[in-house]
Structure 1
Amino acid sequence: MKVLAVDTSSIVATCAILDEDRLISEYILNNKRTHSQKIMPIIKEILESSELKPEDIDVFAVSIGPGSFTGLRIGVATIKSLAHALGKKVIGIPTLDALAFNLPYSEGIIVPMMDARRDRVFTGIYKWENGSLCVIQKPDAVELDELMNILKERDESIIVNGDGTLVYRQKIIEALGDRVFFAPKSANMARASSVAELALSRAKEGKFENFFDLVPDYLRKSQAQREYEEKIKCCGEKNE
Structure 2
Amino acid sequence: MKFLCLHGMGTNSQILQIQLIGIINQLPQHEFIFVDGLEPCPPDPEVKSLWPGGPYLCYYTTPIPEHLEEAYSLVLEVMAEDGPFDGVIGFSQGAALAASMILQHQKDQPTAAPLFSLGIFLGASLPFDRDSTLARQSVVASKHQPSGYVGGKEEHDLLILQRYDPRTTSLRIDVPILHVAGKRDPFYQQSELLVGLCSADAASVIHDGGHFVPKDTHSTARIVRLIDAMVGRVQHRC
User: Is the pair's TM-score, using the shorter chain for normalization, greater than 0.5?
Assistant: no
TM-score by length of 1: 0.31
TM-score by length of 2: 0.31
User: Based on CA coordinates, which of the two structures has the bigger radius of gyration?
Assistant: 1
